[in-house]
Structure 1
Amino acid sequence: MAAGQHPPGAGRLAMNPLHFFARHGRATLIAGLLAGLLLPALAGALRPWLPQIVAVLLFLTAFRIGPQQAIGSMAQARWTLWLVLAFQLALPLAGLALMTALGVAQTPFGFALLLVLSSCSISGSPSFALMLGHDPAPALRLLILGTALLPLTVLPILWLSPSMGDPRAVLTAAARLLGVIALASATGFALRHAAFRTLTPKATRTVDGLTSLALAVIVIGLMSALGPALHTDPALVARWMLAAFATNFGLQISAFMILRRLGHPDPVGPAIVAGNRNMALFLVALPAATTDPLLIFIGCYQVPMYLTPILLKRLYAHD
């Protein structure tokens, strides 16, 4: 081999390993799901660190998008406000009224569904939109504004449904989550504005790889209750898993179809947010008798969440 030449494949070996995770983001999510199921000790060890990992993910998402793209136009801001009110206020109130009329509001599934509908977006929704090849900014705007308005949108639901728990505890948790999102997003935007006005393709792939890894680590911790339940009561897990898929994908598909018909300029991000909600926020306010089954449901709900970029890829490719 001549001097200065590299052996075949050396370029691939020298490649930034984060670029590998960026190219295989969907496979990385699957690996996180499997680790959460098969490695309960690791899931339990990661669970206390979830707030910090969420903050890192929010920082990476804000840095990737940048402040100018996140703010958007006034027309986009109006869409964001209306969607937050529809997702976090109109939907849960309509769902509560329907379930009360049917006599299922106090059942475990009825209560779990109300939690889903009342919650704001998960922190990973912008990253899911990115993995599907769409603009993550609409999902990020919904995440930020939805969390900011959650203390207000949840008040009528807390008043009408006493089983939601102590309103003060829920509002305190919402305020804490809003503080984390505001600080992480502001830091990401500030760093992007100050030092990286334009990201190179290489830098973009590096950030995308870090984001994929953060998402995989988060899901391991969120599934800490699911692995043990699979051994003790697999039938219960199967029922909750079916409910999780029906709820998550049903909300996403319905929102996507309705928003397309209404002429939304980019319905993919909002549709992802419609089904992927941050229920864990409400755990601090729930009665102890409902904690265990809801933890299993939250673990099950991670599966359709993290399979969104894979199983709904064809649906969202039509936009």
Structure 2
Amino acid sequence: MPLLVMAARHGRLLLVAGLVAGLVLQDLAQAMRAWLPVMVAGLIFIAAFRIGHRQAATSLGELPRLLGAVLAFQVAVPVIVALVFLALGMADTPLAVALTLMTAAPSVAGSPNLTVMAGGPPVPALRLVIAGTALLPLTVFPVFLLTQGLGGPAALVWVSLRLTAIILAAATFAFWLRARWLPTPDARQVQAIDGASALLMAVMVIGLMSAAGPALTHEPARFFTWLAAAFAANFGLQLLAGALLRGRPDRTPLSIIAGNRNIALFLVALPPEITTPILLFIGCYQMPMYLTPLLMRWYYR
């Protein structure tokens, strides 16, 4: 318990340590890639366990707002991005593919945890993780129709359905366990749960950085170009959403989700000839994501 509480107090620094380890310990990063799906499910479990089923349950009056947020993030934004690149004649470039897929993806599984570290309420973030992933088989169709070179979305549909099942199973088990064993946690117990989440995220990012370390060593100019694109896309969308949602109680979680998406999902759904050119972007994209609680907390305050 004391170790987990200390991890919660220094959660933002733990994420930075994970980023550094992912860049430096390249062999370990490669070895951990296979464990990423398990760690994603673990993050969902911890987030759901922290919140509990009563707090996470979406009332009927909130369903239209939740659906509207999913459509705005996963349909409207990527469609605009795809149309802009089409108008510029850049639709088949790696940058266009990377940014379109990023904005079409649902929220990262760790968005409730990022929200907690940034000082916001995690419940809206968890709801959008589940809803956005569940609706992904439908929301990707207009994006795939507009994005050149991605092929048919049939494989992605099956992958997203499998991911939805994993998320729902992890959340359901966590809700049951919380209701049975810890129905009313005290403040110290909640802090310990946050510490467990921070530790898992710090470990997981090592595997997500598997493509970034070699590029930094051998192609620094290319690395920093993609890193700049990742920071601009992530923080730019967060700032834009934060400005549009100013005054709303769910501004922090929605803004964090606007910039932090589960683009890694597409690695298991699309052929290597499409994903290989954007692997470095996916690795660089973890940096603004994991630095969000440290660099953006002032903004959400």
Q: What's the TM-score once normalised by structure 2's chain length? A: 0.96
SS of corresponding position for 1:164: coil
Checking the alignment, whether the CA contact within 8 Å between 2:30 and 2:207 is kept in structure 1 is yes
Look up the match of 1:106.
92
Residues 1:198 and 2:205 aligned together: no
Residues 1:268 and 2:286 aligned together: no
Q: CA RMSD in A?
A: 1.4
Q: Distance in 1 between matches of 2:249 and 2:6?
A: 32
Look up the match of 2:288.
304
1:248-287 correspondence runs (5 A): 248-260=234-246, 263-287=247-271
Residues 1:125 and 2:111 aligned together: yes
Structure exhibiting the larger radius of gyration computed from Cα positions: 1
Q: Distance in 2 between matches of 1:258 and 1:73?
A: 24
For structure 2, the 5+ residue unaligned runs are none
1:92-103 correspondence runs (5 A): 92-103=78-89
Look up the match of 1:144.
130
Q: Distance in 1 between matches of 2:92 and 2:290?
A: 28
SS of corresponding position for 2:245: helix
Checking the alignment, whether the CA contact within 8 Å between 1:166 and 1:285 is kept in structure 2 is no
SS of corresponding position for 1:163: coil
Amino acid of the residue matched to residue 300 of structure 1?
A: C
Amino acid of the residue matched to residue 251 of structure 1?
A: L
Look up the match of 1:28.
14
Q: Distance in 2 between matches of 1:166 and 1:187?
A: 34
Q: How many correspondences in the alignment? A: 301
Look up the match of 1:167.
153
- Alignment match of 1:50 (pick from 31, 36, 47): 36
User: Which deviations, in whole Å up to 9, do the C-alpha atoms of 1:182-233 show, x marking residues without a partner?
Assistant: 0101111111112211111221122111100110111000001111111121
Give 1:74 deviation, angstroms: 3.4
Give 1:162 deviation, angstroms: 4.4
Checking the alignment, whether the CA contact within 8 Å between 1:164 and 1:285 is kept in structure 2 is no
Checking the alignment, whether the CA contact within 8 Å between 1:36 and 1:43 is kept in structure 2 is yes
Checking the alignment, whether the CA contact within 8 Å between 1:241 and 1:300 is kept in structure 2 is yes
For structure 1, the 5+ residue unaligned runs are 1-14
- Alignment match of 1:239 (pick from 192, 204, 225): 225
Return structure 1 stretches of 4+ with deviation > 2 angstroms.
72-78, 159-162, 284-293
Checking the alignment, whether the CA contact within 8 Å between 1:50 and 1:221 is kept in structure 2 is yes
User: Which deviations, in whole Å up to 9, do the C-alpha atoms of 1:135-192 show, x marking residues without a partner?
Assistant: 1001111111000000000012223324224412111111111111101011111111
Give 1:81 deviation, angstroms: 1.0
Checking the alignment, whether the CA contact within 8 Å between 2:11 and 2:198 is kept in structure 1 is yes
- Alignment match of 1:41 (pick from 27, 35, 38): 27
Checking the alignment, whether the CA contact within 8 Å between 1:165 and 1:285 is kept in structure 2 is no
Look up the match of 1:79.
65
Sequence identity of aligned pairs in percent? 50
